Structure 1
Amino acid sequence: MAAVCVFCASSRTLDQRWLDLATETGAELARRGHTVVSGGGCVGMMGAVVDGARAAGGRTVGVIPQALVDLEVADLASDELLVTDSMASRKTLMIDRSDAFLALPGGLGTLDELFEVWTTATLALHAKPMVLIDADGFYRPLLDWLTTLTDQHFLKPAGRNLLTVVATVPEALKALESHLP
Structure 2
Amino acid sequence: MKPVVVAVLVIGVAFGAGYALKPDRLDEQVRQRGFFVVERRKTLFAAVDSLREESRLQVLVYRGTVKVRASKTLLWLFDGEQTLWVPASVPLLIDLGNMVVTFDGGKNVRVKIPAPTLGDIAFQVEEALSVRGGSLSWSQNQRDALEKEAYATARTAFVAQAQGFRPFAERQARAVIERQLHKTLPDLIVEFE
- Per the normalisation by structure 2, the TM-score is 0.18
Q: Looking at CA atoms only, which structure, 1 or 2, has the larger radius of gyration? A: 2
When you count strand as a share of all residues, which structure comes out higher? 2
